[in-house]
Amino acid sequence: MSYRYRCGTCRATSEPVATRRAARAEQRWHRAREHAGLIPDDESIEPDDEHTVGSGGLLLAILVGCLIVEALYRITGP
Contacting residues toward Zn ion, per CB under 5 A:
7, 9-10, 34, 40
Given the complex with Zn ion, which of 10 and 63 has the nearer CB atom?
A: 10
To the nearest whole angstrom, how small is the minimum distance from the Cβ of residue 23 to Zn ion?
14
To the nearest whole angstrom, how small is the minimum distance from the Cβ of residue 19 to Zn ion?
21
To the nearest whole angstrom, how small is the minimum distance from the Cβ of residue 2 to Zn ion?
20
Structural element, H or E, at residue 67: helix 55-76
Given the complex with Zn ion, which of 10 and 67 has the nearer CB atom?
A: 10
Cβ atoms of 44 and 6 within 8 Å: the answer is: yes
Given the complex with Zn ion, which of 2 and 14 has the nearer CB atom?
A: 14
Cβ atoms of 31 and 45 within 8 Å: the answer is: no
Cα 78 from Cα 71, distance rounded (Å): 13
